[in-house]
Structure 1
């Protein structure tokens, strides 16, 4: 399903990016470009790239980042756009937490709380993952508490 921009107020959203197959860093750069080229989405800023070990997964280390976007898309339409970008990068879903060419997760969509079979916002596991919290804190410090960062301090994460 192709996401379409509608005439509505912009919402600030945050998207986590990750990849651990192929040229992962380039996949994230390409995804950021594609995100900014999506109708109804404006890329505001992105964190640096980080390297992390897989969490509840296997395979090579991941490259991760977080992007802030401003969008006129609804949350489900933004999710459609993210999945279209993943599909364009060759994303396959053979099993839960499989290694991937690209993973885009909608972390936050304004102040919305969404709990549907297809989408949960805020992302239900974001507070448990250094690979989300550290890059999110880099670009939106007010959204991440010192306590949240302390809770994931044992997870190895390094700037690339």
Structure 2
């Protein structure tokens, strides 16, 4: 069947998703939601590198990648930092949360992330937003992410890849978004992250 056949529906370019009949490479995988962001250097290239690095992680499969959004930096005065490119990645993984966190930090370090200032500019930010339905107040890794429910730059792309999603302990993403201003979250239809081969 050719791609020009009118019965073939193209995958919406805004959401890149991998559908496997069975994840034979993973045994009893867990769902995790990962937010990625960059406001230094080649932001799109960095985000794509993060997606690729996640896919290269043993025990992890990237299942969906959201559209890219351009957003204002969080927690700092407007105009004091470059804008961010943000996206959300849905994964299935057999890694426990602490190992997934270690992998996220390793990916950040590979892109020369510097941690010298809270909410400072960064080449790459990799945050675990949610892991299955786990709720934990462990200071090393609070789940879900303690501010995810109030951050439009996380919830908007998450909603794109999973409209039925819920933030454990806080409710449906769609309802949380209804209470937030979306002014500082601009879709970048001209940019796209791809799933690794």
| TM score, norm. by length of structure 2 | 0.75
Counterpart Cα distance in 2 of 1:55 and 1:151 = 17
Structure 1 position 146, deviation (Å): 3.3
Match of 1:126 in 2: 148
Distance 1:8 1:113, change over 3 A: farther
Relative to structure 1, the CA distance from residue 47 to residue 129 in structure 2 (aligned partners, 3 Å threshold; closer, same or farther) is same
Is 1:148 the counterpart of 2:170? The answer is no
Q: Which residue of 2 aligns with 1:4?
A: none
Say if 2:159 and 2:174, in contact at 8 Å, map to a contact too: no
Among 104, 121, 145, the residue aligned to 1:99: 121
Corresponding position: 1:78 with 2:83 = no
Once the two structures are TM-superposed, the CA of residue 113 in structure 1 deviates from its matched residue by 1.1
Q: Following the alignment from structure 1 to structure 2, what is the Cα–Cα distance between the partners of residues 15 and 100?
A: 17
Please give the secondary structure, in 2, of the residue aligned with 1:142: coil
Q: Distance in 1 between matches of 2:153 and 2:182?
A: 12
Aligned position for 1:38: 57
CA contact (8 A) 1:16 1:106 kept: yes
How far does residue 145 in structure 1 lie from its aligned partner after superposition?
3.7
CA distance in 2, matches of 1:136, 1:83: 21
1:113 pairs with one of 135, 148, 173: 135
1:138 is aligned, of 160, 167, 176, to 160
Deviations 1:64-115 (A, max 9, x none): 0000000000000000001000000000101111100000000110011122
Cα displacement (A) at 1:132: 0.2
- What SS is found at the alignment partner of 1:141? coil
Between Structure 1 and Structure 2, whose CA radius of gyration is higher? 2
Q: Distance in 2 between matches of 1:122 and 1:145?
A: 13
Q: Which runs of 4+ in 1 moved over 2 A?
A: 144-147
Aligned residues: 154
TM-score normalised over the length of structure 1? 0.92
Aligned-CA RMSD value? 1.3
